[in-house]
Structure 1
Amino acid sequence: MMLRTLALLLSLPLAAGGQDSKDLARALAGPTNAAPQRLMLVDLPRPAGARIRLFDGKSLDGWQPWLGYADPGITYKGDPVATPIGTLRDTSGDFAVRTVDGEPAIWVKGETWGSLVHRADLRDYHLRLEFKWGPKRWAPRATLPPNNGLLYHTHGRPGEVFGTWQPSVEFEIMKGSTGMLVMVGKALRAHTNVAFDDALIAPHLRFRLDGRMVDMINGTPTWNVEAAVDAEKPEGEWNVLDLYVLGDRAVHVVNGVPVAEARDLAVIGADGKRTPLTHGRIQLQSEGAETWFRRITVEPIKRLPKIVSARG
């Protein structure tokens, strides 16, 4: 399957949209089961140790801010054409602890793109947080669905990816796509199962438990895979995200609904060697939308929960 997928990636045209991208997605995904997916999470692991709060409810202690370009519109234009802000300015107007709905939360303004990176190097864990959208949106994404992200297995240099983020795996937080699996960085790899979905924009691939395995490769049509279903609550309500990570595997859960699964997470070295990616820090993104985060906790686990098809 690996050789077949790579051959398809090399032989078919890479297109941003249109029929070429759909043909490629169909070829990668193979015949699609048209039955709706109803997925459940079972065999939840017991905590293997104490629960730790990554947000103390009082301050941003333990979190390091990083900001990308003053003009976020140049972020995806390829080679750097400017110097990132990085840590060179006061970021209290970008990230702060504020009270919302009667409880402290991390406020992310979203106007300047970047992230808060937690200092803890995490492995084999269950992370839980709650998020909700604020009302403000910023160019160049002001008219697009609000976008943010929980990035995990963070490694490498600050700003290594588009001058704005560190290489990592993304648990996407975007209206309509929360839980989507994304490779952030050119050297990232993962396996997941997909089906073709004509309703999606390119790459037209959605996670499907009984789908065909693909190798996710940044810079190719498999660089992201849409969540199995949209399990996000209406805008203005709090959503609960659960991320289960064990070694080089991960499970994404939105409001109790499993929506994605990754296997064989890895980094590709300059020599082409695939090294398992099993640990790293987390990042809370800032990418054009005001966002609130609260109740961020992590606890160790020794096994992953299972995703199964619900009956009935």
Structure 2
Amino acid sequence: MIVVLTLPAAALAQSSTDQARAIAGDPPSASQRLTLADLPRPTGKATALFDGRSLTGWQPWLGYADPAVTYRGDPGSKPIGTGRDTSGDFAVRRTDGAPAIWIKGQTWGSLVQRDDLRDYHLRLQYKWGAKTWPPRIGQPPNNGLLYHTHGTPGDVFGTWQPSVEFEIMKGSTGMAVTVGTRVRARTTVAFDPSLIAPHLRFRVGGRPIDMVNGTATWNVEAATDAERPIGQWNTLDLYVLGDRAIHVVNGVPVADVRDLATIAQDGTRQPLTHGQIQLQSEGAETWFRAITVEPIRTLPRVMVAD
């Protein structure tokens, strides 16, 4: 028999705070200012993943017609998938005098880039549009760059493929998230009671944790908020080498994750070293441009600035 306990909100918040404190320890005495050292030189030419004219090379996928059912155990309907014209969801349009990928955000899903990528430096620019949509109205605009994408379309909540996420969300851009119950990552954290659950922030030299979706370590907040004000373009750099990745927002390193892996049916951990990328649609109008990828053989180092 399963017993479900319903706790008041204050009790739930205290429970999650105590849990995070047990995982990460007491809050650090000072925040960290991070910088990058030993930037890698590309070992080949940069490739544009957006040609400036079309969505060639990108495959759309849509979740449920009503995004509010996405996280339900039984949504009561099937995801849209590729079953309708998506030109009103994803398109190439002009903004600020140049073409960009426009993502409406009303129906959740993603654009999946078809190339299988490994050992690379990905750079893109994004900015928020003017609109947010239910059920996210009143919340910070939310989107994401998902990498090492693999598996079946719609395998995660009928809407995304298993992957690791470079979060794009106002106030949390660069957060690391494991997308899918069989995806794992490791990083180092500090307890930050100012955050909503799970109250964990990336910290160089912090306590090592294993990130597991559906547990108290399912995501880790960016080291700092390096995003520019809404309406301005932001530059994201993602450095990936084997089963390691570094997230950089407007030149500021904000996350360093390693031991990326999938969990096989027999429970063994298998390194996750390559895959596609997804540009999410998750409730907020978003623009993307200048998406390039170049091969690398080393990673930069994330350092605590003097």
Corresponding residue number in structure 2 for 1:238:
233
RMSD after superposition: 1.2
CA–CA distance in structure 2, aligned partners of residues 39 and 65 of structure 1: 36
Corresponding residue number in structure 2 for 1:264:
259
Distance 1:290 1:17, change over 3 A: farther
Residue 251 of structure 1 contacts residue 258 of structure 1 at CA under 8 Å; is this kept in 2?
A: yes
Match of 1:24 among 19, 25, 33: 19
Match of 1:252 among 229, 243, 247: 247
Letter in 2 for 1:39: L
Tell me if 1:125 matches 2:120. Answer: yes
What's the CA shift for 1:64?
Answer: 0.1
Q: Deviations over 1:112-141 (max 9, x none)?
A: 000000000000000000000000010000
What's the CA shift for 1:80?
Answer: 4.2
What's the CA shift for 1:36?
Answer: 1.6
Match of 2:41 among 39, 46, 59: 46
Letter in 1 for 2:107: T
Q: Deviations over 1:53-95 (max 9, x none)?
A: 0000000000000000000000011244210000010000000
Tell me if 1:108 matches 2:95. Answer: no
What's the CA shift for 1:32?
Answer: 3.2
Corresponding residue number in structure 2 for 1:178:
173
Corresponding residue number in structure 2 for 1:192:
187
TM-score (norm 1): 0.94
Corresponding residue number in structure 1 for 2:67:
72
Match of 2:135 among 136, 140, 150: 140
**SS of residue paired to 1:49:** coil
Corresponding residue number in structure 2 for 1:298:
293
Letter in 2 for 1:161: V
Corresponding residue number in structure 2 for 1:96:
91
Residue 119 of structure 1 contacts residue 281 of structure 1 at CA under 8 Å; is this kept in 2?
A: yes
CA–CA distance in structure 1, aligned partners of residues 194 and 86 of structure 2: 39
**SS of residue paired to 1:294:** strand
CA–CA distance in structure 2, aligned partners of residues 299 and 17 of structure 1: 45
**SS of residue paired to 2:148:** strand
Residue 185 of structure 1 contacts residue 218 of structure 1 at CA under 8 Å; is this kept in 2?
A: yes
Q: Identity across aligned pairs (percent)?
A: 72
Residue 28 of structure 2 contacts residue 191 of structure 2 at CA under 8 Å; is this kept in 1?
A: no
**SS of residue paired to 1:21:** helix
Corresponding residue number in structure 2 for 1:307:
302
Match of 1:81 among 76, 80, 100: 76
**SS of residue paired to 1:129:** strand
Tell me if 1:289 matches 2:284. Answer: yes
What's the CA shift for 1:292?
Answer: 0.0
CA–CA distance in structure 2, aligned partners of residues 17 and 118 of structure 1: 39
Q: Deviations over 1:258-286 (max 9, x none)?
A: 00010100000110000000000000000
Consecutive unaligned residues in structure 1, runs of 5 or more: 1-12
CA–CA distance in structure 2, aligned partners of residues 161 and 58 of structure 1: 30
Match of 2:144 among 141, 144, 149: 149
CA–CA distance in structure 2, aligned partners of residues 22 and 277 of structure 1: 31
CA–CA distance in structure 1, aligned partners of residues 12 and 243 of structure 2: 31
Match of 2:217 among 215, 218, 222: 222
Distance 1:168 1:38, change over 3 A: same
Match of 2:272 among 254, 274, 277: 277
Residue 55 of structure 1 contacts residue 294 of structure 1 at CA under 8 Å; is this kept in 2?
A: yes
